[in-house]
Structure 1
């Protein structure tokens, strides 16, 4: 999906644009990472591509390089914030818990996480 097809209502597009404040953790030309406002772990960061894709399957099909980069950024965050261990979660679809339909990876670490 192109940037213009997402509409003006995407909260993550607004965060990336700087219209909504966030606690930035990392950014480059293809992704933006920020602290989750409602963390489920000691370290809970969201990584989003700057281009709008509805879910991880759409991203993988359109831009697999950015998907791989998200994994690299997740590892870097875990290396800096913990000893490299982390959980990486993509919720894809409303029934799977996706509530914002701009693909995003949850990086959770900083402690031993329950199964």
Structure 2
């Protein structure tokens, strides 16, 4: 199946620019281009998993890695509290079908 790459895959592959604030072997973190809070980051796995419904047991390390990264990112941004959001599926508000975690803080 030949699917078109998501905008996040294009960012990971450096095909389009983004404000990258963190990158490691498992994920990339960018500033959201349409922020809903003073700090609005997107934590994106490098593996293109469309939705939470598509997660498999082999993805637990990626998801755990991203969850453990969230407090480090918040602290680096000067936040002492934050909220997270993962939209899943079209009816769940997901616009880009490549799992990502929103980190929001004021």
Query: Normalising to structure 2: TM-score of the pair?
Result: 0.91
Which of 51, 55, 69 matches 2:51? Answer: 55
Partners of 1:18 and 1:44 lie apart in 2 by: 21
Residues 16 and 83 from structure 1, CA distance in 2 versus in 1: closer, same or farther, beyond 3 angstroms? same
Residues 37 and 6 from structure 1, CA distance in 2 versus in 1: closer, same or farther, beyond 3 angstroms? farther
Which consecutive unaligned segments of at least 5 residues does structure 1 have? Answer: none
The CA deviation at 1:86 is 1.1
Partners of 1:60 and 1:79 lie apart in 2 by: 30
How many matched pairs?
A: 106
Task: Give the alignment's Cα RMSD to 1 decimal.
Answer: 1.6
Which consecutive unaligned segments of at least 5 residues does structure 2 have? Answer: none
Residues 96 and 50 from structure 1, CA distance in 2 versus in 1: closer, same or farther, beyond 3 angstroms? same
SS of the residue corresponding to residue 74 of structure 1 reads helix
Which of 78, 81, 86 matches 2:82? Answer: 86
Partners of 2:2 and 2:51 lie apart in 1 by: 12
Runs of 4+ in 1 over 6 A off after TM superposition: none
Partners of 2:34 and 2:95 lie apart in 1 by: 13
Query: Normalising to structure 1: TM-score of the pair?
Result: 0.84
